[in-house]
Amino acid sequence: MSKIHVTTTVNGDPVEFLADPRDTLLDCLRDQLGLTGTKEGCGTGDCGACSVTVDGVLVCSCLVLGAEAQGKQIGTVEGIANGSELHPLQRKFIEHAALQCGFCTPGILVAAKALLEQNPDPTETEVRYWLAGNLCRCTGYDKIIRAVLDAGAEMRGAN
Amino acid sequence: MPKDDLKTGYRIVGTRPDRPDGLDKVTGRARYGADISAPGMLHAAVVRSPHAHARIIRIDASKALVLDGVKAVITRADFPTGLTGEDWNLQENTIAGDVALYDGHAVAAVAATSKLLAQDAARLIEVVYEVLPHVIDVDAAMQPDAPVIRAGTADHSVPEGMHPNVVKYIDFGHGDLEAGFAAADLVRAQTYKTEATHQGYIEPHACLGQMGADGKGEMWVCTQGQWYIRRMCSAVLGTDASQLRVTPSEIGGGFGGKTTIFMEPLALALSRKAGGRPVKLVMSRAEVLRATGPTASASMDVKLGMKADGTLTAAQVNFRMQGGAFIGSSPVGEALSCALACYTIPAVHHEGYEVLANRPKAAAYRAPGSPMAAFAVESLLDEMCRELGLDPLAVRLKNAAREGAKASYGPTYNRIGLVETLEATMAHANLKVPLGPNQGRGVASGFWFNHGGETSVSLAIGEDGTVTVSVGTPDIGGSRASLGMMTAETLGIPYEAVRVNIVETGALGVNEPTHGSRATFASGLAAVEAAKQAIKTMCARAAAEWGIDADAVEWIDGAAAPAGPNAGKFPPMSIAEIGAKMGSTGGPISGHHEVTAGGFGASFGAHVVDVEVDPETGRTTVLRYLVVQDAGRAIHPAYVEGQYHGGAVQGIGWALNEEYVYGADGRLQNTVFLDYRIPVASDLPMIDTVIVEVPNPGHPYGVRGVGETGITPPLPALANAIAAATGARLRSLPMSPPKVLAAIKAKANGQG
Amino acid sequence: MVKVNLWSGLRRFAADQTVVPVEARTVREMLDALTAAHPALLPFIKAGVSVSVNGQIVTDLNAPVAPEDEVYLIQRIKGG
């Protein structure tokens, strides 16, 4: 099966790769582009560890084909920080001990960033429902929710 | 509420600094099992049995092998013969011999130049099976007509006349059971069942293995224990342990499930057969659920005797557990030992059976065996308290195990903190919150032994006086931070001046995995001892320079100083000064400690949960949740709270949602997270915690280990809360909406 | 004599005793004496048991035991 030449933008950088028609965007990010921050926890869109944004829309990259990335703007965990300056969410996750093993963390950060961009002042319930597609087995979510709420407050200038 | 026998007033211990690996883990830089590639790397795929029990008649790989890019296919024929005991179990579970023993059992594996090609090739490998009768349920597997899974497996403990699937028998106890029950005002007996659940770590098993024809190899793998991987892979492959160098990746959760091997030897065997090219093997979620460590399913009888004032007079438990098709994999011994450990009861008897079933080989799961046991015992205790009109927490306190009392499993307890834990629970504000209609409150206690084990730690002073610590226990939940904190505290230097590295198998003596809640306890103990050894050397270097006796030098605030005015007047010599000149004062300075750590202290917990049950759907909503647990000493309280949160929520999942669902054909029906439903953020409230600190005298900072106890009380606490809310008592898990609804209806029809 | 408490399932392999007195100064000598007196216990000891001395699990076979110590053999515990 011949491969498809894909030209796209990841975290603002122009990239190109050859995708097997069956390769997911997740496979292409990890195996073709070496962006292994995005994780595969299930491959069926249930766990959210592979969350990325495609043209600003939050998706599971295991449910998107690599070929579909053509001409899009892809955002991954590697693009959340501005150089060495961490995004408030990243700082708050460390500060609140909101990660234990850290495997779900990239997907949750990408998802939480998308939430705060669309709803800068979410309630606890809104955060919980927004992140209901991101499984974490270590933390019981408590400190994750606190970190997201605190990051939102900081970004609003509320503290 | 510290009950301090040990020193307090630490500089660093008890604070909440950032974890050292935090930055890597929020930026996507941290490298997990599947994140590494190597030049010339091949990808592997595994062929698995679609049958619960089947004889393997023929494996034909010819169609796969003709594909360009397919480099090797392996079957059991590529592994050595003659293994015995647990080594044979590990080999048999890695790749089936004559018979596939469960749905998902590996029968062949293939390595090829791409992941897709390996998967295509695996589909072309033809396996001819003769399907055999299977058995899934633990009670059914003991029945006379149950298919025999492997005759002759039973060990010496099993009395004659039992079904060949019964492979272990355990009994122990003390006191006069008959007199104990006779002295009771109320005697009740019930039967409880729990289904198997999976540890559910989000990172699937993954490794990159390389091995040459000379038996020398390397492996990168997500594991709780790199030395276990080394020993087990070497045993399965018939190679020398020291020739395999195992480097642990960051680990995306384990909970006991990554303390053993499942597919790692396949990567090495494929590499060996493919000319030594590195082979990457990453499981799918379905493979994880079908073929890696779930916990046991259990069927349990409990009988308790209680006086009208709540005093327990006698207890009898009989547990049956299956841990798959392999002996020694169920935690029935642990379950029995934990079952009554929270109480002082004059007469107790425990009896247990391990039973084979056509299921995957069970692995350890957080406090193995204790949650099931607690579900049975704590549920019945709650029922009896309600029947006698007694406060369930007051009854737990009245009967609580305490220092000097005889433990249910035999010995006398040393310093333990159950009484303090229960008192803190009873004082908590959550107990005063009024409840509304369809709401109920449940409480339960829990116990885990904790563990010490083989531990080797090295510590080296840098040329600038900063310190590296090499430990062998992978960091799953922040142990780099707690180990760095204890090291810095002991050395009297800033936390930031210490780097803790998790090292490969060549760098230290053998370490047991991060299991048994032991990383902060045992690696911490060894790191403190290693630091003390380095301090002794540094004091000696200062003494030599000052020309005084080494005994006249003491270590204060990160520097050597003369001990008192008689030792001489010298300004303190800092660790940085000593480090800068160590090359010319006797050579590099390091500390090292090796120990099979004893001295671990049990951790007790108590949980209180408020639920609301929807009488229309049977759905249970957790309104409020409180975890109170004795940490001994919380080195980094935020990560202790994290363990309490995580344990509680795994327990909530086990109680309400999670179960292995098998079809009549013996195949696992729920092999994706959509169907194997672990708790999600919107299912839960915040989890309230109270860290009780009754220091463990067996650890320099009083650490007990906190990882496991927290999963134990939620199962019965939820059952007790649902009973309080609905009047319906559920005695089998999970308490999923259809089961709760059926129980409510049965209650309404007078059958409850 | 050190009094070794067995779990009751071992009774039938130890001449119907649950407390076996043995001459021993260390854990190793205690286990050796136990299996010398009751060879049927050997498979259990070899399969792995935990030894509790005065309420602490002892992992060092050279650890001392004295007649006044409380000594229990208990099921070996695996952690998660």
- Report the first-to-last Cα separation within chain B, whole angstroms: 42
The whole-number average pLDDT for the span B536-547 is: 97
Contact between chains at B516 and C52 (C-beta distance less than 8 A):
no
For residue C32, tell me if it sits in a domain: yes
Q: How many CB atoms lie within 10 A of CB B119?
A: 17
On the question of a common fold for B22-29+452-597 and B369-450+601-748, the answer reads: yes
If DSSP codes are grouped into helix, strand and coil, which group holds residue B430?
helix
Comparing B542 with B599, which gets the higher pLDDT?
Answer: B542
CA distance linking residue B217 with residue B246, whole number of Å: 9
Q: What is the pLDDT of residues B145-184, one digit of tens each?
A: 999 999 999 998 999 999 999 999 999 999 999 999 999 9
Q: How many CB atoms lie within 10 A of CB A118?
A: 11
Q: Domain locations in chain B?
A: 22-29+452-597, 369-450+601-748
The whole-number average pLDDT for the span B512-525 is: 96
Whether a cis peptide bond, with omega within 30° of 0, leads into B734 is yes
The C-alpha of B307 sits at a distance from chain A's nearest C-alpha, in angstroms, of 38
Do B642 and B633 contact (CB within 8 A), yes or no? no
Give me the residue from B27, B253, B282 closest to A138, CB to CB.
B253
CA distance linking residue B504 with residue B399, whole number of Å: 47
A37 to chain B: closest CA residue: B28
Q: How many residues does chain A have?
A: 159
CA distance linking residue C56 with residue C63, whole number of Å: 12
Q: At residue A136, what is the residue type?
A: C
Under 8 Å CB-to-CB from B213, ≥6 apart: which residues? B272, B276
CA distance linking residue B207 with residue A49, whole number of Å: 19
CA distance linking residue C60 with residue C38, whole number of Å: 22
Q: If pLDDT is split at 50, 70 and 90, which confidence band does B561 have?
A: very high
Contact between chains at B255 and A142 (C-beta distance less than 8 A):
no
- Tell which phi-psi region holds residue C15, choosing left (phi > 0), alpha (psi between -120 and 50) or beta: left
The whole-number average pLDDT for the span A101-112 is: 98
Q: If pLDDT is split at 50, 70 and 90, which confidence band does C80 have?
A: confident
Q: Which chains have at least 3 CB atom pairs separated by less than 8 Å from chain C?
A: B
For residue C42, tell me if it sits in a domain: yes
For residue C80, tell me if it sits in a domain: no
The C-alpha of B409 sits at a distance from chain C's nearest C-alpha, in angstroms, of 7
Q: How many CB atoms lie within 10 A of CB B147?
A: 17
Pick the closest to residue B348 from B413, B411, B407, B408 (CA basis): B408
**What is the CATH T-level fold of the domain B369-450+601-748, as seen in this structure?**
Aldehyde Oxidoreductase; domain 4 (3.30.365)
Burial-class residue B492 by CB neighbours within 10 Å (0-12, 13-18, 19+).
Answer: middle
A134 touches chain B (CB under 8 A): yes
pLDDT at A151: 98
The whole-number average pLDDT for the span A76-98 is: 97
* Residue A37 clears pLDDT 90, i.e. is over it: yes
Q: If pLDDT is split at 50, 70 and 90, which confidence band does B598 have?
A: confident
pLDDT at B707: 96
CA distance linking residue B592 with residue B527, whole number of Å: 8
Contact between chains at B333 and C76 (C-beta distance less than 8 A):
yes
Query: Chain C residues with CB inside 8 Å of B407's CB?
Result: 55
Domains of chain A: 4-79 (3.10.20.30), 88-156 (1.10.150.120)
Q: If pLDDT is split at 50, 70 and 90, which confidence band does B5 have?
A: very low
A135 touches chain B (CB under 8 A): yes
Q: C61 lies in which domain range?
A: 2-75
pLDDT at B70: 98
C8 to chain B: closest CA residue: B172
The whole-number average pLDDT for the span B318-330 is: 97
* Residue B2 clears pLDDT 50, i.e. is over it: no
> Do chains C and A touch by CB distance (3+ pairs < 8 Å)?
no
Label residues B18-54 b or e (16+ Cβ within 10 Å = b).
ebbbbbebbbbbbebbbbbbeeebbbbbbbbbbbbbb
Do B47 and B104 contact (CB within 8 A), yes or no? no
* Residue B6 clears pLDDT 70, i.e. is over it: no
Contact between chains at C8 and B515 (C-beta distance less than 8 A):
no
Do B481 and B636 contact (CB within 8 A), yes or no? yes
pLDDT at B640: 98
A146 to chain B: closest CA residue: B686
Instruction: Count up the domains in chain C and report the number.
Output: 1
For residue C55, tell me if it sits in a domain: yes
* Residue C78 clears pLDDT 90, i.e. is over it: no
Give the residue from C7, C62, C70 with the most B CB atoms within 10 Å of its CB, the best one to mutate.
C7
Give me the residue from C44, C56, C75 closest to B598, CB to CB.
C56
The C-alpha of B282 sits at a distance from chain A's nearest C-alpha, in angstroms, of 10
The whole-number average pLDDT for the span A19-44 is: 98
Q: Which chains have at least 3 CB atom pairs separated by less than 8 Å from chain A?
A: B
CA distance linking residue C57 with residue C72, whole number of Å: 9
Q: If pLDDT is split at 50, 70 and 90, which confidence band does B4 have?
A: very low
Residues 13-42 of chain A whose Cβ lies under 8 A from any Cβ of chain B? 20, 22-23, 27, 30-31, 35-42
* Residue C59 clears pLDDT 80, i.e. is over it: yes
Q: What is the pLDDT of residues B290-304, one digit of tens each?
A: 999 999 999 999 999
Strand B206-211: give its sheet, edge to edge: B70-74, B106-112, B42-48, B279-282, B206-211, B217-221, B244-248
Residues 166-195 of chain B whose Cβ lies under 8 A from any Cβ of chain C? 169-173
Mean pLDDT taken over chain B? 97
Pick the closest to residue C57 from B265, B668, B450 (CA basis): B450
The C-alpha of C64 sits at a distance from chain B's nearest C-alpha, in angstroms, of 14
Q: If pLDDT is split at 50, 70 and 90, which confidence band does B1 have?
A: very low
**Which residue do the tokens 């035999």 mark?**
B410
pLDDT at C50: 87
Do B455 and B511 contact (CB within 8 A), yes or no? yes
% of chain A surpassing 70 pLDDT: 98
- Its ipTM equals 0.98
For residue C23, tell me if it sits in a domain: yes
Give the residue from A101, A104, A130 with the most B CB atoms within 10 Å of its CB, the best one to mutate.
A101
Which domain CATH number covers C67? Answer: 3.10.20.30
Give me the residue from C44, C60, C80 closest to B365, CB to CB.
C80
Q: What is the pLDDT of residues B649-701, one digit of tens each?
A: 999 999 999 999 999 999 999 999 999 999 999 999 999 999 999 999 999 99
Q: If pLDDT is split at 50, 70 and 90, which confidence band does B255 have?
A: very high
Rounded to 5, what percent of chain B is helix, strand, coil?
A: 30, 25, 45
Output the six-digit token pair for B330. 């169920």
Residues 90-119 of chain B whose Cβ lies under 8 A from any Cβ of chain A? 114-116
Q: If pLDDT is split at 50, 70 and 90, which confidence band does A158 have?
A: low
CA distance linking residue B92 with residue B231, whole number of Å: 16
CATH architecture classification, B22-29+452-597: 2-Layer Sandwich (3.30)
Pick the closest to residue B701 from B9, B6, B16 (CA basis): B6
Which DSSP state fits B672? S
% of chain B surpassing 90 pLDDT: 97
pLDDT at A148: 98
CA distance linking residue B184 with residue B190, whole number of Å: 17
Q: If pLDDT is split at 50, 70 and 90, which confidence band does A1 have?
A: low
The C-alpha of B290 sits at a distance from chain A's nearest C-alpha, in angstroms, of 13
- What angle is formed at CA B618 by the lines to CA B616 and CA B619, rounded to 5 degrees? 110
Pick the closest to residue A70 from A28, A35, A37 (CA basis): A28
Give the residue from B166, B172, B520 with the most C CB atoms within 10 Å of its CB, the best one to mutate.
B172
Output the six-digit token pair for C77. 């515990």
CA distance linking residue B411 with residue C5, whole number of Å: 9
Residue A18 dihedral angles phi and psi, to the nearest 5°: -105, 120
Pick the closest to residue B498 from B175, B17, B7 (CA basis): B17
Contact between chains at A44 and B672 (C-beta distance less than 8 A):
yes
- Tell which phi-psi region holds residue B105, choosing left (phi > 0), alpha (psi between -120 and 50) or beta: beta
Contact between chains at A40 and B21 (C-beta distance less than 8 A):
no
DSSP B241-252: GGGEEEEE---S
CA distance linking residue B79 with residue B525, whole number of Å: 40
Residues 72-131 of chain A whose Cβ lies under 8 A from any Cβ of chain B? 76-78, 80-81, 86, 89-90, 93-97, 99-106, 109, 124-125, 127-129, 131
Do B457 and B490 contact (CB within 8 A), yes or no? no
**Which residue do the tokens 């020694």 mark?**
B328
Do B271 and B111 contact (CB within 8 A), yes or no? yes
Question: A118-121 — which CB contacts under 8 Å span 24+ positions?
Answer: A120/A152, A120/A155, A120/A156, A121/A152, A121/A156
% of chain B surpassing 70 pLDDT: 99
* Residue B439 clears pLDDT 50, i.e. is over it: yes
**Which residue do the tokens 């136990």 mark?**
C34
pLDDT at B3: 41
pLDDT at C74: 86
Residues 324-383 of chain B whose Cβ lies under 8 A from any Cβ of chain C? 331, 333-334, 336-337, 349, 364-368
The whole-number average pLDDT for the span B529-552 is: 97
The whole-number average pLDDT for the span A129-134 is: 98
Farthest CA pair distance, chain A:
56
C15 touches chain B (CB under 8 A): no
C7 to chain B: closest CA residue: B172
Pick the closest to residue B23 from A75, A13, A102 (CA basis): A102
The whole-number average pLDDT for the span B321-347 is: 97
Mean pLDDT taken over chain A? 97
CA distance linking residue B263 with residue B481, whole number of Å: 31
